[in-house]
């Protein structure tokens, strides 16, 4: 598993964050992840193709709409078909780190990560920011 503490520290030391997969449904993990950043006073932008705001935050419709993509770590809580396109965009935008929540990856996504040399930028294969995030934040303070 390429999931390392180093990538998690890189991810959480970004000045900005984005969440793809949040929605109006507060029971969904995407929205829980978005709120996790809000509770911790992180600068976070929800990415949603249709909604103009989520949890009181203005959304952008795609990763390319982020104010500063190269300074933004991205949490992805989407189905693998959508995740694959997001990884392609993230690579083109020089996004520093991505955290794929459990279920956001499949074999095609993992193959893309390996084929494109993204192993040192993408967290996948199980860890959940809701479970591990606070410990990682403490370790980098």
Give the DSSP letter string of 52-119.
SEETTEE-BSSGGGSS-GGGEEEEE-S-HHHHHHHHHHHHHTT---EEE-TTS--HHHHHHHHHTT-T
DSSP state of 40: T
Domain CATH code at residue 113: 3.40.50.720
Prediction pTM value: 0.94
Find all residues with CB under 8 Å of 41, minimum gap 6, and list them: none
Low-confidence residues of the chain, pLDDT below 50? Answer: 1-3
Q: How many other C-beta atoms are found inside a 10 Å radius of the C-beta of residue 47? A: 27
Q: How many domains does the chain have?
A: 1
Backbone angles phi, psi at 85, to 5 degrees: -65, -35
Domain enclosing residue 89, as ranges: 5-140
Contact 20, 86 (CB under 8 A): yes
Output the pLDDT for position 126. 85
Rounded to an integer, what distance in angstroms lies between the CA atom of residue 16 and that of residue 23? 20
**Which structure tokens are listed for 90?**
């993230």
Give me the pLDDT at residue 4, please: 67
Query: Strands 53-54 and 44-47: what pairing?
Result: unpaired
């Amino acid at each position: 598993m390429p999931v390392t503490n180093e990538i998690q520290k890189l991810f959480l030391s970004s000045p900005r964050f984005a969440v793809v997969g949040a929605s109006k449904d507060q029971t969904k993990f995407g929205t829980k992840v978005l709120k996790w950043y809000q509770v911790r006073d992180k600068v976070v932008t929800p990415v949603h193709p249709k909604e103009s705001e989520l949890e009181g935050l203005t959304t952008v419709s795609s990763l390319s709409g982020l104010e500063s993509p190269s300074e933004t770590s991205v949490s992805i809580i989407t189905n693998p078909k959508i995740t694959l396109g997001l990884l392609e965009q993230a690579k083109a935008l020089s996004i520093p780190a991505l955290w794929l929540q459990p279920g956001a990856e499949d074999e095609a996504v993992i193959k893309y990560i390996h084929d494109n040399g993204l192993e040192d930028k993408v967290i996948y294969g199980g860890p959940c920011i809701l479970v591990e995030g606070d410990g990682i934040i403490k370790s980098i303070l």
